[in-house]
Structure 1
Amino acid sequence: MKYVEEFQNPEAARRLLDDIHATVTRPWALMEVCGGQTHSIIRHGIDQLLPDEVELIHGPGCPVCVTPLEVIDKALEIASRPGVIFCSFGDMLRVPGSDRDLFGVRGEGGDVRVVYSPLDAVRIAQENPRHEVVFFGIGFETTAPPNAMTVLQARRLGVTNFSMLVSHVRVPPAIEAIMRSPECRVQAFLAAGHVCSVMGTGEYPDLADRFKVPIVVTGFEPLDVLEGVRRAVRQLERGEHTVDNAYPRAVRPEGNPAARAVLEDVFEVTDRSWRGIGVIPGSGWRLSPRYSEFDAEHRFPVSGITTREPAACRSGEVLQGLLKPHECEAFGTACTPRTPLGATMVSSEGACAAYYLYRRLGGTPASLEASPVA
C-alpha cells in the first residue's frame, strides 16, 4: 500500500538507526506529542532500538485522555436525561467519569450511540425530531474542522434539535505549558504531522526560538518516527533549534487554508482544562457566539458538577511525560482496559493502552530482528 509499506521498510529503518547511533554523543530527551506516534513507537519497539542516550518521552498527545473529568461528567449528565440521544465516537464510551462511563449510562437505559462521523449525529437528529441529539466533539486540530463543518451543515439544513458538547484542544499552547514546567526535561519535540497538515507550522518557530528546542514535524509510520528522531538529534548535537518539516508529503507551511477558515468562523480560542494537567491559557476552542444555539452547555445547564479523580490514577504524570505507564503502581493490576482508572488506559491513542497492548510491564529489549519494523 503506497505510503505505508515503504515507510515500514526494515533496511531503511536500519540505516536510520545506524545514522542516529553514529550521531549521538550525549543524552537527549525528546517528546512526541501525538498518541498515534506513541503507539507506533511502542508497537514497533522504536524506543528500545534507539541508543541509550536517546529517551522518548510520551506527551499529552491523546485527545481522549486530556478531555477534563468535568467535561466527561457533563457528558454523562446530559446523556442520562430523558429525550436525549447522545452520540459519540466509540473511544469515549469507556472513558471513566467520576463514578461511571457512557457505557454505564447506556446500560441504565440512556440512548447513547456510537457514530463514525459527526454528520451521522445530524442525520439522527433529522430522523428523531422529538429528541435532542448531542454530539460529543473532542479532539485536537485534526477533528475540529469536520466538527465545525457539521455545525454549519446543521444550520444550513435547519436542524434545531442538534447540539455539540465541545472540548477541543490546541497543541502549541500545550508545548509552551510543558516547557514552562519546572519539572520539564524535554529538549526537543516531534510535532504531530496531522495537526500541522491542518494548521501549518506557523505557530512553532516562536516556540522553538523562545525555548531553544528543535521541533520536527513528524509522521506516524516507523520510518517517519525514526527520521523525526534523526533530525531532532542532529539539531541537538549541533546546538540548533529550528522547525523542520520531516513530513512534507502531508504538511505545507500554511496548512489547509479552507479548514482554517472554517475553524475561525465556527470556533473561538478559549482557555481549556486538560485532564491531569490543569488549565492551559488559550489551549482550546469553543463555539463562537454566532453558533451558540448549537452549544450543548447552553442548551443543557450542567453547572455545579463535582468531580473526583481516582487517587490511585497517575495518568496526569503520564500525560506530562513525568512517568512511564508501567511505572505506575496500578498499571496492569488495579488499572486494565476492563477496569480503567484513567482515559490513558482505554483510549486508542493512550500511552497506558499502548504499553498494556504491546509490552505490558516493559518486556525484553527489542532488536531489529525481533521488532515488527523488520
Structure 2
Amino acid sequence: MNLMNRFRDKQTVTLLLKKIEESAKPDKNYSIMEICGTHTVAISRWGLRGILPKNIRLISGPGCPVCVTSQGEIDLIFDLLDKEDVTVAVYGDLMRVPGTNGENLLYLRGKGKKILIINSVVELMKIADEKPEEDFVFVSIGFETTTPQTAFLIKESAKKGIKNISVLLFNKTMPEILNLLLEDENLAINGFIAPGHVSTVTGDELYYGIIRKNRAAVITGFEPVEILEGVMEIIKQVNTNIFYVGNCYKRVVSGRKNIKAYELINEVFESSDAVWRGIGLIKNSGLKIRAEYEDFDAMLKYNLKPYSHNERVGCKCGEVLKGYIKPMDCTLFGTYCTYENPYGPCMVSSEGTCAAYYLYGGVDG
C-alpha cells in the first residue's frame, strides 16, 4: 500500500499541476490521446480532465479491446451458441456485450447456454483436460498484452494433446491503428499517452512511428502521479519540438521488446486484415491462426462465416473510439444506454470510454 501511496500523493500531484500550468503556453492548445482503456478509466476516476489547464485536452482513443471488436465478430459468438453444443469460454468483460438482437451472454447463460467465465487460459486447459467429452471454444479478444496467452493456450494444448479446445480469434495489433490515427486529418493530436500494459510486450519500439511524425509519445502507468508526469513530458516535447519515446512507467516497462512473447505469437499466428468497430477494415491489424495449428481454429472447425461489420443502429461507439466525439455527444448516452442497461460496447466494457464517463464523469479542464 505504501508503494501505491507514492503515486497518489496529493502534494506531488499539486506540484505537478503547478509545473504543467507553468509549462503549457497559454496561446497554444495541447491535444493528448490515451490509447489504453485502463488509462481512460484512471483519468476519469481521478478526475484529471477537470484539474488540468483548459488548453490541455485529454482525448480517449481506441484502446479498449472489447470496444473495438466489431459487431459482426460479436454476433459470431451468438451464432456459435445457437448452432453448436459447445461451451464458450470468455473473460468476464464480454458477458454483457449485446449482439445485434440485444441479447448478451449473461442472458443466454441464464437460459441454459454453456458459457464459462475464466480467469486464465491455464484454467481453461485444466477444465478441458478433465472433460474430454465436452467441446470448449475460447473467445480471444485483446491487443499485444493478452495475445501471448492465447498463443500459449494453442501451443500447449497441441503439445499436451488436448483436442477439445478451439479459439475464436479476434485479437488486434496496435501499430496499424496508431498509423491511422496519425494520418487522420480530423484529429490534431500533439502527443500520445502510450499504454503501459501493451508496452511490457512491445517495448518502446511500437511508438517510433509517432515520433517520426513529430508527435510526442510517453509510456505511463495508471496512477495520477504517473499520468500527470506523462502529460508534463508531452508538453515538454511539444514545446521544444524534440520528440522521443518517454517512459514514466519504468517500475514495470523496461523499454525493451519482449522477444519471447513475440516468438510465441509469430509461431502460432500470422498477420491478417481486421475490422475495427466504427473504424472499418484496417490492413494487417489482426491475426489469424497459422495452418499448422488450424485444428484449433473455431472458424474452420464449426464452419463459421464472417458477418458484415454493421453496427447497432444509433450507437456512436465508433466515433467515440476515434476521438471525434465525447460520450455525452451521443443521444443514447445516459438515457437509452446506461451502465446498468448498456446498448453499445463502449458502455459495456469496464475499460470503455462511455462506461468511464458514465461512472466517473468526463469534465474537461
Give the drift of 1:257: 2.1
Query: How far apart, in 2, do the equivalents of 1:243 and 1:171 lie?
Result: 16
Change (3 A) 1:306 1:232: closer
Q: Which moved more, 1:158-167 or 1:115-124?
A: 115-124
The answer on 1:338 being equivalent to 2:340 is yes
The counterpart of 1:85, out of the listed 84, 87, 100, is 87
Amino acid at match of 2:52: L
Which residue number in structure 2 is paired with residue 23 of structure 1? 23
Q: Which amino acid aligns with 2:252?
A: A
Aligned to 2:234: 232
Name the structure 2 match of 1:173: 176
In structure 1, give the amino acid aligned to 2:118.
Answer: V
SS in structure 2 opposite 1:139?
Answer: coil
Which residue does 1:7 correspond to in 2? 7
State the Cα deviation string for residues 195-230 of structure 1 (Å, max 9, x = none): 111111113223321x22111111111111101100
Q: Which deviates more from structure 2 when the two are superposed, residues 198-207 or residues 112-121?
A: 198-207
Gaps of 5+ in 1: 367-374
Query: In structure 1, how many angstroms separate the alpha carbons of the residues matched to 2:65 and 2:3?
Result: 25
C-alpha contact (below 8 Å) 1:124/1:133 kept by paired residues: no
- Given that 1:81 and 1:110 are in contact with CA atoms closer than 8 Å, whether structure 2 keeps it comes out as no
For the 8 Å contact 1:271–1:281, the answer to whether it is kept is: yes
Aligned length: 362
Structure 2 residue ranges without an equivalent (≥5): none
Contact 1:82 1:110 (8 Å CA) reproduced: no
Cα distance in 2, alignment partners of residues 246 and 338 from structure 1: 35
* Offset at residue 240 of structure 1 (A): 2.2
Give the alignment's TM-score, normalised by structure 1: 0.93
Question: Identity of aligned pairs, percent?
Answer: 36
Q: Distance in 2 between matches of 1:158 and 1:45?
A: 50
2:191 corresponds to which residue? Answer: 188
SS in 2 for 1:159: coil
Partners of 1:326 and 1:231 lie apart in 2 by 29
Alpha carbons 2:210, 2:216 under 8 Å: kept? no
Q: Does structure 2 retain, via aligned residues, the 8 Å contact 1:345–1:351? A: yes
Q: Cα distance, 1:300 vs. partner?
A: 1.2
Counterparts of 1:341-360 in structure 2 under 5 Å?
A: 341-359=343-361
SS at structure 1 position matched to 2:325: coil
Q: Deviations over 1:88-116 (max 9, x none)?
A: 00110111121122223323321011111
Q: For residues 170 and 4 of structure 1, what CA distance do their matches in structure 2 show?
A: 30
Q: Select which of 261, 271, 274 maps to 1:272.
A: 274
Letter in 2 for 1:201: D
What is the CA–CA distance in structure 2 between the aligned matches of 1:3 and 1:282, rounded to whole Å?
A: 40
Q: Deviations over 1:178-201 (max 9, x none)?
A: 111221221211110111111111
Residue aligning to 1:119 = 122
Does the Cα contact within 8 Å between 1:208 and 1:242 map onto a contact in 2? yes
What does the per-residue CA deviation read over 1:30-78, in whole Å, with 9 as the maximum and x for residues that have no partner? 0000010011100111111111110000000100101111111111111
State the TM-score, normalizing by the size of structure 2.
0.95
The residue type paired with residue 63 of structure 2 is G
Q: What is the Cα-based RMSD across aligned positions, in Å?
A: 1.6
Distance, in Å, in 2 between the alignment partners of 1:97 and 1:353 is 18
Secondary structure of the structure 2 residue equivalent to 1:245: strand
2:220 maps to which residue? 218
Structure 1 runs of 4+ aligned residues shifted over 3 Å read 304-308
- Please tell me whether the aligned partners of residues 87 and 134 of structure 1 are also in contact (alpha carbons under 8 angstroms): yes
Is 1:131–2:173 an aligned residue pair?
A: no
